[in-house]
Amino acid sequence: MNNLFRVFGRFVPPYRGQMVLNILFNLLSTILSLFSFAAIIPVLQILFGLTSVDTEQVDLAQVEGLQNMIAALRTNLYCLLDEQIALRGASVVLLWLGLFLVFMTGLKCGTSWLANYFMVPIRTGVLRDLRQQLYNKVLSLPMGYFTEARRGDIISRMTNDVGEVEGSIMSALDILFKDPIMILVYLTTLLLISWQLTLFVLLLMPIAIFFIGRIGRSLKKASTKGQEQNAEILSSIDETLLGLRVVKGFNAQDKLRVRFTNLINATRATFNRINRRYYLAHPLSEFLGTALIAIILWFGGLLILSENATIDASTFIYYLVIFYSIINPSKDLSRAAYGIRRGMASLERIDAVLNTPSNILEPANPQPLQLFQTEIRFEHVHFGYQPDREVLTDIDLVIPKGKTVALVGQSGSGKTTLTDLVPRFYDPLQGRITLDGTDIKRFATHDLRDLMGIVCQEPILFNDTVYNNITFGVDTSQPAPNGMSWDEAVEQAARIANAHEFIAAMPEGYQTVIGDRGSRLSGGQRQRLSIARAILKNPPVLILDEATSALDSESEKLVQEALEHLMTQRTTLVVAHRLSTIKHADLICVMHEGHIVEQGTHEQLIALNGYYTKLVQMQK
């Protein structure tokens, strides 16, 4: 329950109004149920003649003490019933009591529904808040986090674990607001009816709680393992879908099938253990509740049959009805305890993401970023994904405004890593990067990245319309540039990117949905859309990461023309695979094992007859 109260204090405060109304109507529902139960006793008396009241009515003004007042009210009620039976007949009084029972039950059901009515926005609101927090955190995490974490595991935490929280902890919140109130009111009533019998019951309760607690202690650990296995399943499915062409090409279906079968069988075994223990909660609590009732019947019989009886038969029946009404909320609480253990395991996995610190720190007082004016400079920059393994070593580089700087070298030499430092996807371990003489760490990352456009080797597109993919990097709620409409601006960007022709040939033109990751387009078409997106954003700094390396010759020509339009009068940092595309760059930097080993123009580097010359000769 401590875990549940922590969740309560963490998520529920924004919904205080609904919480108060839920508790109020739960309380009313419980009190009204007592009146409903109370109507049963006179019905039984009339039907079976269990007792007969011969005493005179008691003056309530003369009664002192709560128990005496209750006894006096009961005596007066029974006297009134006897009078009405004698005057109107037992069948008429029985009809009145039946109508009273129906009326009170209707009120009870209505207030119970209202309690649930106000609980619904709490449950859905808490779940929405958790999903929003998790999604916002994923968006804000640094790129370095995703090099360590598996994509399938992150998806599992955002789906399976959030679903587990919804199915267990959110249900437990409902129980927390309702069942303790019912148990408290019913126990208070039982104490007023017979404190001896209730004390006897309370002495037996810890035994039942002990057995239920013993069974549920291992659920949290097993649930954590189960959620981790679910994450492995999602990772396996994700890898299979992304690599399906390779899987089929190498006839590796059987190998993956065996691996997946072993994984789902292990997951099944884990959840068999979890669910078998979980489903034991209900029958065990029902068995223990029945055993308690049997013991109460025996002990209550002793109290009724003793010479100094403290409870009569009709009151004992009422006692049993109320006690039996405690069993269901008690069982729900025990089942909720199991659910909480399962849910807390998932919540801890979610919190592991939410509490992940970001190593890309925002400045406390960010410096306003004016227009890019002079240069971007790398000063003795060192970087490694692990501190003990450097990928970049002592990088000194100046990228003047309006110039094109190309990075070339063998795979793994650190070209893409160097470009990732400019928009602060990562921060250097040593040294610094400046923009117009100011360390880029002093700018807000949003302002810094707002200066930049990025075109990657693998175009990143979304399952949306062509129009929405091109406008992805701009705020269309603001006026379009140069007095144009956004439709005109998008078409202009597409024309510059050599994309307008194939877009216009689509069934719905710019409103055509391009499929998951742009699956309905060719590689060259996807790349030209990503270039159109960068053109529309019109950034002063452009980063091109091998934007033409995966294209055929015809597509490369069209994309290269689009890139040349895009690079005009912009500061461009190019990672080049095909050296023919960067011959006219203002500066070419040759990288080898994390160092810049040569710098110069194409002609200057050829004259050196060094690393660059070898790369050129390899591509002839």
Instruction: Assess if residue 456 is contained within a domain.
Output: no
Domain count, the chain: 3
Higher pLDDT, 123 or 56: 123
Indicate if 116 and 143 belong to the same structural domain. yes
Q: Is residue 360 part of a domain?
A: no
365 located within any domain: no
Q: Which domain holds residue 424?
A: 370-451+540-620
Residues 281, 412 share a domain: no
State residue 564's pLDDT score. 73
Least confident of 148-152, 259-263, 546-550: 546-550
67 domain-assigned: yes
Q: Same domain, yes or no, for 60 and 96?
A: yes
Residue 6 pLDDT: 67
Q: Please report which confidence band the pLDDT of residue 620 belongs to, taking 50, 70 and 90 as the band edges.
A: low
Q: Which helix (H) or strand (E) holds 575?
A: strand 571-575
CATH of the domain at 533: 3.40.50.300
**Are residue 245 and residue 386 in the same domain, yes or no?**
no
H runs (alpha helix) in 217-305: 219-242, 244-249, 253-305
pLDDT for the residue numbered 432: 92
Of 358-362, 538-542, 608-612, the range with the lowest mean pLDDT is 358-362
Q: Are residues 125 and 182 in the same domain?
A: yes
Query: CA-to-CA distance for 305 and 16, rounded, in angstroms?
Result: 50
Q: What is the pLDDT of residue 218?
A: 54
Distance of CA 406 to the CA centre of its chain: 42
Residue 107 lies in a domain: yes
Look at residue 202 and tell me if it is in a domain: yes
Q: Do 426 and 335 share a domain, yes or no?
A: no
Query: Rounded to whole angstroms, what are the CA distances from 68 to 59, 73, 75, 78?
Result: 11, 9, 10, 15
Using CA atoms, how far apart are residues 42 and 208, in angstroms rounded to an integer? 33
The last residue of a domain, from among 330, 354, 378:
354
H helices present in 437-485, as ranges = 445-450, 466-470
Instruction: For residue 253, give the CATH number of its domain.
Output: 1.20.1560.10
Query: Are residues 335 and 392 both part of a single domain?
Result: no
Q: Domain boundary at 354, 382, 397, which? A: 354
**Residue 14 predicted with pLDDT over 70:** yes
Look at residues 340, 196, 325, 233 and name the one whose alpha carbon lies nearest to residue 278.
Answer: 340
Strands 404-409 and 587-592, sheet pairing = parallel
Judged by average pLDDT, the poorest of 282-296, 353-367, 372-386 is 282-296
pLDDT band at 55 (very low <50, low <70, confident <90, very high): very low
Do 599 and 497 have their domain in common? no
User: Is residue 568 located within the same domain as residue 427?
Assistant: yes
Segment 74-95, tens digit of pLDDT: 566 666 666 666 677 667 777 7
Angstrom distance (rounded) from CA 7 to CA 11: 6
Residue 524 has pLDDT above 50, yes or no: yes
- One-letter amino acid of 249: G
129-138, 332-341, 400-409, 563-572: which is most confident: 400-409
Q: Give the H/E segment covering residue 174.
A: helix 162-193
Whether 484 and 336 map to the same domain: the answer is no
Q: What is the pLDDT at residue 63? A: 47
Establish if 362 belongs to a structural domain: no
The angle subtended at Cα 237 by Cα 236 and Cα 243, nearest 5°, is 90
pLDDT of 159 > 70? The answer is yes
496 and 434: one domain? no
Q: What is the pLDDT of residue 244?
A: 65
Domain's final residue, options 311, 326, 354: 354
Regarding whether 346 and 388 lie in a shared domain, the answer is no
Is 493 inside a domain boundary?
A: yes
